[in-house]
């Protein structure tokens, strides 16, 4: 997997993962200061999934996400300052400050939103994929969801319809082991092997290391190639872990600290950094330069958001009907 990577690609993967990490850390700080209100679900620890998967999509492909959507939006190329402004409820945000953390959206990027309803994005993905097939267009739909969504009825309905209609959907399960505060082994009969449920619907499925950006990249690359030659849905279960609580309101006391430490030792950013330096594929100095650049980008995003105006109260009634 390393042999086909050049320095530019390595820099890009490191830059995107670090951008997500620093963005989320700053978001958490702004939430504690009261600048971000409502709910805030951080993506810290899961960066390899978004970057490894979304980085292979074309402009005409679609992304549908869950409410832990900041990482996906950044990986898809949405502007950090515009996302930060949206989180802060400012007029300059991607939805004019009306969507907030869980509802990021950018049609220009075919980023079709985060969804606060658990599993609510799955039928949306089916509809988008059906439209692609009906209109004979190019592209696929990459649909992200968590392990908490797989016990919802729409999960099974979506897989069933996607299989019957042979729709171009890449179902991407980010299994971080916890649906809110409950371990997946207490909520799902299949335990940690949820991907097997997809096979019962005749969908090719695999489980991968979601803490390894190169493993995610390879699995996604193979899936997209297969879907182009044989149009049909594919299911990938990426085993990952969130280093913070379910949301900023979650003290995460239900998790054993030993478990957290074990997963932090597999930090996707630090692991990738160590690997590429040890393999002599890039210098530490160049990665340090990237880190400095990312810090500046985040500072600019925060400043832009906090200096942006709030939407006028009357705008509450705008765009209520299409």
Give phi and psi for 52, each to the nearest 5: -65, -35
Residue 57 has pLDDT above 70, yes or no: yes
Give the separation between CA 43 and CA 119, rounded to whole angstroms.
Answer: 18
Going by their DSSP bridges, the two strands 141-146 and 169-175 should be labelled as parallel
Q: For residue 190, which of 202, 207, 204, 203 has the smallest C-alpha distance?
A: 207
Over residues 262-268, mean pLDDT: 95
Domain 7-301 falls under CATH 3.90.550.10: no
Q: How confident is the model at residue 24 (pLDDT cuts 50, 70, 90)?
A: very high
Give the separation between CA 66 and CA 167, rounded to whole angstroms.
Answer: 20
- Cβ-proximal residues to 145 (8 Å cutoff; 6+ apart), any chain: 66, 119, 121, 122, 155, 171, 172, 173, 174
What tens digit of pLDDT does each residue of 274-289 get?
999 999 999 999 999 9
Q: Calculate the CA 102 to chain-centre distance.
A: 12
CA angle, corner 210, sides to 299 and 205, nearest 5? 135
pLDDT reported for residue 253: 84
pLDDT reported for residue 304: 98
What tens digit of pLDDT does each residue of 194-223 get?
999 999 999 999 999 999 999 999 999 999
Predicted model pTM: 0.95
**What average pLDDT does the structure give for the chain?**
94
Q: How confident is the model at residue 4 (pLDDT cuts 50, 70, 90)?
A: confident
What tens digit of pLDDT does each residue of 78-113 get?
999 999 999 999 999 999 999 999 999 999 999 999
Over residues 108-131, mean pLDDT: 96
What tens digit of pLDDT does each residue of 38-49 get?
999 999 999 999
Sign for the CA dihedral angle at 133, 139, 144, 147 comes to positive
**DSSP 8-state symbol, 310:** P
Strands in the chain per DSSP E:
62-64, 141-146, 169-175, 178-179, 182-183, 204-209, 234-239
Give the separation between CA 269 and CA 45, rounded to whole angstroms.
Answer: 8
Residue 317 has pLDDT above 90, yes or no: no
């Amino acid at each position: 997997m390393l042999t086909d990577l050049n320095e530019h690609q390595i820099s890009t993967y490191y830059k995107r993962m670090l951008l997500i990490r620093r963005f989320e850390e700053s978001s958490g700080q702004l939430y504690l200061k009261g600048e971000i209100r409502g709910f805030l679900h951080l993506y810290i620890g899961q960066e390899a999934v978004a970057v490894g998967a979304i980085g292979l999509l074309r402009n005409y492909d679609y992304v549908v996400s869950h409410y832990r959507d900041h990482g996906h939006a950044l990986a898809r190329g949405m502007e950090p300052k515009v996302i930060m402004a949206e989180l802060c409820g400012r007029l300059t945000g991607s939805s004019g400050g009306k969507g907030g953390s869980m509802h990021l959206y950018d049609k220009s990027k075919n980023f079709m939103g985060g969804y606060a309803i658990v599993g609510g994005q799955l039928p949306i993905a089916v509809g988008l994929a059906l439209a692609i097939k009906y209109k004979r267009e190019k592209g696929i739909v990459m649909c992200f969801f968590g392990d908490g969504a797989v016990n919802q009825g729409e999960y099974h309905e979506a897989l069933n319809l996607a299989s019957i209609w042979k729709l171009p959907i890449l179902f991407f399960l980010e299994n971080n082991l916890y649906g809110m505060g409950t371990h997946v082994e207490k909520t799902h009969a299949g335990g940690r092997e949820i991907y097997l449920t997809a096979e019962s619907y005749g969908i090719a499925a695999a489980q991968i290391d979601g803490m390894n950006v190169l493993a995610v990249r390879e699995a996604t690359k193979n899936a997209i190639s297969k879907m182009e030659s044989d149009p049909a849905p594919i299911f990938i279960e990426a085993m990952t872990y969130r280093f913070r609580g379910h949301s900023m309101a979650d003290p995460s006391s239900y998790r054993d600290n030993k478990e957290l430490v074990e997963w932090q030792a597999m930090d996707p950013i630090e692991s990738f950094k160590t690997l590429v330096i040890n393999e002599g594929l890039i210098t530490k100095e160049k990665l340090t330069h990237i880190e400095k650049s990312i810090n500046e980008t985040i500072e600019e995003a925060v400043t832009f958001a906090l200096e942006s105006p709030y939407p006028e109260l009357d705008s509450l009634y705008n765009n209520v009907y299409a």
